[in-house]
């Protein structure tokens, strides 16, 4: 708008601020507010109707503390396993040619498309005491399905693609000639990996691990079927929230849900700081 046009509009005419905001910005903010921020705000408002003593009492019951420990402890183990196995899988898919590579590359995304309830039934079938895999551990007294180990297996299953799909494109950008140059200068394979390959892919590994951890913490559908859901043994916090809702204990479910949210935000903030540190090695 020109200065002359502003003078003709007069001092009391309101400026059309919204006209200066582009449609993409409006769509983005509307989408984020409706889909992400409003539900979080509703959860927060539902929880703050309680006084601090009531909130603390509901958040720190023995069964709630146990579910926090099982949920975040098992999700951490699942994220570490996927960080190692997912990085190795991405490496094999990028660096090697072998029969069935396209098939293997395709089924990596299967946990994205498979309904979590179907994943839970499948895992419970093969890991129970008489299942294809579970029968080999049963003679040693190791129970996988309907135990905390089964919870970990389910979390690893649903969060595997995050690390692979995050690390894979970064590895494709690392030229094999760099590795060959390191070998020609006398570096061992371990030294080449540690000092040449690993630094550029650290941010991608941390990003994928953070996403895998967040996915594991929020998993419900497969875990509820592959675990026995026994308190103080393998009951996770999302299942406890569901049980509270089934019992019409809305305040209890809200408080536990809010605690999950706050702990997850703090952990993701820490991981984001680690990612910022890792970007020092960006190529």
Note the pLDDT tens digit of each residue in 19-52. 677 888 888 888 888 888 888 888 888 777 888 8
The predicted structure's pLDDT at residue 83: 95
Q: Please give the backbone phi and psi of residue 64, each rounded to the nearest 5 degrees, phi first.
A: -70, -45
Note the pLDDT tens digit of each residue in 218-260. 899 899 999 999 999 999 999 999 999 898 888 889 999 889 8
30's tokens: 């509307």
The predicted structure's pLDDT at residue 6: 47
Q: 162: closest CA among 117, 122, 234, 211? A: 211
The predicted structure's pLDDT at residue 125: 92
pTM (two decimals): 0.82
Considering Cα of 164, then 159, then 283, then 88, what sign does the dihedral take?
A: negative
The predicted structure's pLDDT at residue 14: 53
Measured CA to CA, the distance from residue 32 to residue 45 in angstroms comes to: 18
DSSP 37-100: IHHHHHHHHHHTTS-HHHHHHHHT-HHHHHHHHHHHHHHHHHHHHHHHHHHHHHHHHHH---TT
- Number of CB atoms found within 10 A of residue 73's CB: 13
- Under 8 Å between Cβ of 160 and 88: no
Note the pLDDT tens digit of each residue in 161-186. 999 999 999 988 888 788 788 888 88
The pairs formed by 43-47 with CB atoms below 8 angstroms and a separation of 24 or more are 43/254, 43/257, 43/258, 43/261, 44/258, 46/250, 46/251, 46/254, 47/251, 47/254, 47/255, 47/258
Measured CA to CA, the distance from residue 158 to residue 67 in angstroms comes to: 19
The predicted structure's pLDDT at residue 233: 92
140: burial class by Cβ within 10 Å (0-12, 13-18, 19+)?
exposed
């Amino acid at each position: 708008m020109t200065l002359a046009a502003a003078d003709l509009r007069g001092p009391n005419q309101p400026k059309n601020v919204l006209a200066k905001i582009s449609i993409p910005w409006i769509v983005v903010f509307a989408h984020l507010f409706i889909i992400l921020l409003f539900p979080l705000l509703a959860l927060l408002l539902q929880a703050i109707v309680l006084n601090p003593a009531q909130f603390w009492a509901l958040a720190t019951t023995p069964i709630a503390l146990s579910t926090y420990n099982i949920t975040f402890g098992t999700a951490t183990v699942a994220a570490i396993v996927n960080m190692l196995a997912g990085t190795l899988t991405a490496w094999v898919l990028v660096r090697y040619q072998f029969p069935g590579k396209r098939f293997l590359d395709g089924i990596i995304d299967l946990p994205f498309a498979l309904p979590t309830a179907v994943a839970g039934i499948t895992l419970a079938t093969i890991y129970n005491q008489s299942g294809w895999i579970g029968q080999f551990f049963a003679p040693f007294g190791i129970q996988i399905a309907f135990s905390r180990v089964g919870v970990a297996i389910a979390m690893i299953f649903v969060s595997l693609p995050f690390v692979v799909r995050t690390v894979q494109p970064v590895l494709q950008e690392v030229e094999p000639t760099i590795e060959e140059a390191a070998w020609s200068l006398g570096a061992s394979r371990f030294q080449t990996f540690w000092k040449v390959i690993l630094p550029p892919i650290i941010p991608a590994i941390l990003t994928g691990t953070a996403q895998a951890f967040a996915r594991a913490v929020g998993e419900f559908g497969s875990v509820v079927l592959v675990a026995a859901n026994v308190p103080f043994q393998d009951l996770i916090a999302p299942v406890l929230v569901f049980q509270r809702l089934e019992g019409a204990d809305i305040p209890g479910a809200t408080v536990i849900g809010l605690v999950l949210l706050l702990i997850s935000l703090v952990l993701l903030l820490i991981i984001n700081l680690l990612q910022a540190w890792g970007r020092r090695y960006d190529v």
